[in-house]
Amino acid sequence: MKRARLLAGVSVGALLIDVGVCAAQMKGSIFGPGTRSYPVAVASLKNLSGPAAEDVGTRFADIVGRDLTLSGYFKILDRSAYIEKSESSGYTVDSINFDNWSVLGALALVKGGYTVQGDNLTLEVRLFDVYQRRQLTGRRYHGSVSELRRMANKFADEIIAQFTGERGPFDSRFAFVSTRDGKFKEIYVMSPDEGDLQQITKNQTINVSPSWSPDSRSLLYTSYKRRNPDVFLIDLISGRETLLSQRPGLNLGAKMSPDGTKVAVTVEDDGNADIILLDRSGKVMRRLTDSWAIDVSPSWSPDGKQIAFCSNRTGSPQIYVMSADGGAARRVTFSGDYNTSPAWSPKGDLIAYVSRSEGEFNVHTVKVDGGEPRQLTQGARNNEDPSWAPDGRYLVFSSSRSGHSKLFITDVTGSSQVQLTHGGGDDSSPAWSRWLE
Amino acid sequence: MGKRLLGVVVAGLLVATIGVGCSAKKKGAQAGTEGGSGVGEEGLGGGGSLEQYKAGTLGAGEEGPLKDIHFAFDSIDLDETARGILRDNGNWMKDHSGAKVEIEGHCDERGTVEYNLALGAKRARAAKDYLVTLGITQDRLSTISYGEELPLCREHTEECWAKNRRDHFVVVSE
């Protein structure tokens, strides 16, 4: 029920799926991460409802193309070169002249049509294998015109599923911190294609560390708006905000458990940061760490049984893992003298973190049970704040590589890195939500 | 300079006027009044760093009666210079026995926002503990961490970073 408003009526018809289609031969070998080489044509959708409808068809194609580019797997062919025009052609196997697409070098083709009636948008879209001249998948979406972006993001995820065997990560949202509207760090939310930007805080103080509830409906964040750094929980649909943790001193880096019932948060005791566990209403359940050292930045394992965190208990900040009940901690990072910002992969196997060496801060991953870390970024002063995509194949992070701090997406190997945010100000501390449904 | 000082006084008076009746709210409102009350008395700090940042005066080099202390990267250790400044600050507090002071812990831009907020808290606490050993009572000292959020200096150089790794002392009431 609570989903109903979030989705606001987007429904998916699977009626168009071509039974018996097998894309198996397209999965695997031709798709290395970061190959960015698989040429796809994404045609504007055909307007089936007569004049006056918004330019839904082009916007849909733009968003799908943008998502596919971010994935690092695809090269989107320039639409101005398309021979077959959407308005004068069909979008079924029988009505497409595949020669018009193979001559452009397209191996795959996205075509479809839409109708707009009042605020209602119905959209049919299909993915074709140009070489084999057949449909790989198709979807029908119903919803309001304002949900066009979600429909496009969902179909991009479906295309990625067809080619890689796993659903893409783009039917989701990002929360992040930005100074784009002034000198203060405020919190924003947007879709992965940089659309639907929404400013969440406007208090002109310091706002940091946004994180999502597992249902992608609420945000936790720390704000100085009451002058002390307190943790707030805001429901993005109702707009209702509650003060979750307001102890004197730090209330920081709150993260909700995967089942949504608990919140791990860093608080301050006599100047020292420790991690405690709250229930959803903010009541203290138990203390998780109790050392003389800094313990900060909890990150839940996907099964909710363990928590990764950063501690300087050995003299320098390192990544540790402990039971979600607290108790003894096991050290995970051993190289370098500055390892912070742990983020546990939704697949469970890796912890991403930031490591300092030779004056640079870079995003790394390490297996939860130890082993050699893998460095994903390089060549900039700061590559920080990793946060995992819902599919566990991508990370978003902030980087100063283009001057100002901006958000970038990388695949899990580091071989494909694409800039996500543009414009003025510094963007930092991204948090990638779970899938929206 | 004279013009600027006048600006601070006017701004301070405005804030003071607005702040009437809010004294129980302490810190925020009071810190904002210091430009005004301070100029007439002993030249107090000019407000906390967040208020200064809002007013656009952070890093302008205005000096209160209490001096900043500085730290090495990722360190909370008080070196001999820092301890000397803390002794001076402690002596000022002994001479002004009604004064209450908020200690702000700050970091340079390098490293992680959350870790730096925790580090700033420890830096503020280190100064508070030292002042207590000098005989200043705990109830006159409060702490707050701003981590790397309010740098005095924004260049990416060690000289600049060194200025930002600081405890700043704000007289919040006298």
CB contact under 8 Å between A252 and B124, yes or no, is no
The mean per-residue pLDDT over the stretch A295-319 comes to 97
pLDDT at A138 over 50: yes
Q: CA of A272: which chain B residue's CA is closest?
A: B122
Last residue of a domain, one of A164, A186, A210: A164
Same domain for A333 and A255, yes or no, is yes
Q: What is the DSSP string of A244-313?
A: EE--SS-EEEEEE-TTSSEEEEEEEETTEEEEEEEETTS-EEEE----SS-EEEEEE-TTSSEEEEEE-T
Predicted local confidence at residue A84, as pLDDT: 92
Residues 80-139 in B contacting A (C-alpha not used; CB under 8 Å): 110-115, 117-119, 121-122, 124-126, 128-129
Q: What percent of chain B has pLDDT over 90?
A: 62
My answer on whether A132 and A178 are in the same domain is no
Q: Which domain holds residue B16?
A: 2-47
Mean pLDDT lowest among A86-90, A186-190, A320-324, B34-38? B34-38
Query: Are B43 and B115 in a shared domain?
Result: no
Least confident of A46-50, A121-125, B6-10, B81-85: B6-10
Residues B41, B94 within the same domain: no
Asked if residue B115 and residue B32 are part of one domain, the reply reads no
Shared domain check, A401 and A291: yes
Task: Tell me which of A178, A299, A312, A316 to substitute to probe the interface with B (most B C-beta atoms closer than 10 Å).
Answer: A312
- Please indicate, yes or no, whether residues B6 and B78 belong to a single structural domain of this protein: no
Task: Please tell me whether residues A18 and A59 are part of one structural domain.
Answer: yes
Q: Quick check: is A419 in a domain?
A: yes
H helices present in B22-157, as ranges: 28-40, 49-55, 80-95, 113-133
Question: How many beta-carbon pairs below 8 A join chains A and B?
Answer: 93
CATH of the domain at A27: 3.40.50.10070
Statement: residue A11 has pLDDT above 60 = no
| Domain of residue A343, residue span | 174-432
User: CB-based contact (8 Å) between A289 and chain B?
Assistant: no
Q: Mean pLDDT throughout A37-66? A: 89
Same structural domain, B160 and B126: yes
Q: What is the mean pLDDT of residues A250-268?
A: 97
Its sign, for the CA torsion A89, A91, A95, A100, is positive
Neighbours of A329 (CB within 10 A): 21
Say if residue A29 is in the same domain as residue A89. Answer: yes
Asked whether residue B108 falls in the same domain as residue B163, the answer is: yes
Mean pLDDT of all residues in A186-196 = 93
Q: What is the pLDDT of residue B1?
A: 38
Predicted confidence (pLDDT) at residue B28 exceeds the cutoff of 50:
no
User: A340–B156: do the CB atoms touch at under 8 Å?
Assistant: no
Q: A309 to chain B: nearest residue by CA?
A: B115
Q: Do B122 and A204 touch (CB under 8 A)?
A: no
pLDDT (mean) for A241-263: 97
In Å, what is the CA distance from A15 to each residue of A18, A45, A152? 8, 18, 18
**Same domain, residue pair A199 and A301:** yes
Report pLDDT for A54.
62
Q: Is residue B54 part of a domain?
A: no
- Please report whether residue B125 resides in a domain: yes
Q: Do B50 and A227 touch (CB under 8 A)?
A: yes
Residue % of chain A over a pLDDT of 90? 82
Dump pLDDT digits (tens) for A356-400: 999 899 999 999 988 899 999 998 889 999 999 999 999 999 999
Q: How many CA atoms lie within 13 A of B57 on its CB side?
A: 19
Q: Are residues B90 and B134 in the same domain?
A: yes
Over range A268-290, report the average pLDDT: 95
The answer to whether residues A75 and A94 belong to one domain is: yes
Looking at residue A293, its pLDDT comes to 95
> How far apart are the C-alpha atoms of B166 and B106, rounded to whole Å?
5
Q: Which residues of A137-146 are buried (b: 16+ CB within 10 A; e: fewer)?
A: bbbbbebeee
- Amino acid A380: pLDDT: 84
- What is the pLDDT of chain A when averaged over all its residues? 90
Give chain B's domain count. Answer: 2
A151 in a structural domain:
yes
Q: How far, in Å, CA of A318 to CA of A342, rounded?
A: 9
Residues of B in contact with A208 (CB under 8 A): 113-114, 117, 149
Residues B110 and B167 in one domain: yes
| Better pLDDT: B24 or A90 | A90
ipTM: 0.90
The count of domains in chain A is: 2
Structural domain ending residue among the three candidates A99, A133, A164: A164
Instruction: Tell me, yes or no, whether A169 lies in a domain.
Output: no
Residues B107 and A362: their CA atoms lie apart, in Å, by 19
> How high does pLDDT run on average in chain B?
79
Nearest to A249 among B74, B110, B121 (CB): B121
Instruction: Give B110's contacts in chain A (Cβ within 8 Å).
Output: 356, 361, 382
Q: Is the pLDDT of residue A8 over 90?
A: no
Q: What is the pLDDT of residue A142?
A: 96
Residues B40 and B74 in one domain: no
Q: Which two tokens stand for residue A233?
A: 């929980």
Domain annotation covers residue A437: no
- Report yes or no on B62 lying in a domain: no
A-chain residues near B117 (CB < 8 A)? 208, 229, 250, 252, 273, 296
> Do strands A417-419 and A404-411 pair parallel, antiparallel, or not at all (unpaired)?
antiparallel
- Residue A301 lies inside a defined structural domain of this protein: yes
Give chain A positions within 8 Å (CB) of B146.
Answer: 206
pLDDT (0 to 100) of residue B40: 33
Assess whether A9 and A154 both reside in one domain. Answer: yes
| Contact check, Cβ <8 Å, A206/B146 | yes
Residue A139 located in a structural domain: yes
- Given an 8 Å threshold on Cβ–Cβ distance, is B114 in contact with A206? no
Judgement on whether residues B111 and B29 belong to the same structural domain of the protein: no
Per-residue pLDDT, A427: 97
Mean pLDDT of A62-87: 94
Q: Is pLDDT of B42 > 50?
A: no
Same domain, B30 and B77: no
Q: Which of A72, A50, A48, A77 is nearest to A61 (CA)?
A: A77
When scoring A211, A227, A316, A428 by the number of chain B Cβ atoms within 10 A, the one with the most, hence best to mutate, is A227
Q: What is the reported pLDDT for A420?
A: 93
Residue B61, domain member (yes or no): no
* Best to test chain B binding among A296, A297, A381, A405 (most B CBs inside 10 Å): A296
* Mean pLDDT, residues A98-104: 96
Percent of chain B exceeding pLDDT 70 equals 72
Q: Is the pLDDT confidence value at B11 over 80? A: no
Q: Residue type at A194?
A: E
Mean pLDDT of A65-74: 92
Q: How confident is the model at residue A53 (pLDDT cuts 50, 70, 90)?
A: low
Assess if residue B149 is contained within a domain: yes
Q: Determine which of B49, B106, B115, B143 to mutate to test the interface with A (most A C-beta atoms within 10 Å).
A: B115
**Alpha-carbon gap: B3 to the closest alpha carbon of chain A (Å):** 25
Over range B10-31, report the average pLDDT.
Answer: 36
What is the domain-level CATH number for residue A185? 2.120.10.30
In a domain, B28, yes or no: yes
Same domain as A116, residue A231: no
The answer to whether residues B87 and B43 belong to one domain is: no
Quickly state the pLDDT bin for A50 (edges 50, 70, 90).
confident
Please give the model's pTM, rounded to 2 decimal places.
Answer: 0.87
**Structural domain includes residue B95:** yes
Residue A127 predicted with pLDDT over 60 = yes
CA–CA distance from A14 to each of A160, A185, A198 (Å)? Answer: 17, 43, 31
* A20-24, A25-29, B56-60: least confidently modelled range: A20-24
Q: How confident is the model at residue A19 (pLDDT cuts 50, 70, 90)?
A: very low
A301, pLDDT greater than 90 = yes
Task: Determine whether the interchain pair A206/B121 forms a contact, defined as Cβ–Cβ distance below 8 Å.
Answer: no
Which CATH number does the domain housing residue B88 bear? 3.30.1330.60
Residue B38 has pLDDT above 60, yes or no: no
Cα–Cα distance, A115 to B47 (Å, whole number): 60
User: Among A29-33, A177-181, A312-316, B76-80, whose mean pLDDT is lowest?
Assistant: A29-33
Last residue of a domain, one of A120, A135, A164: A164
Contacts of A252 in chain B (CB under 8 A): 114, 117-118
Segment B133-138 mean pLDDT: 97
Residues A184 and A70 in one domain: no
B115 → closest Cβ in A205, A340, A381: A340
Could you tell me the pLDDT band of residue B59, with boundaries at 50, 70 and 90?
A: confident
Same domain, A271 and A381: yes
Chain mean position to CA A101: 32
Tell whether A408 and A321 lie within a shared domain.
yes
Residue B146 lies in a domain: yes
Judged by CB atoms closer than 8 Å, whether chains meet at A228 and B144 is answered as: yes
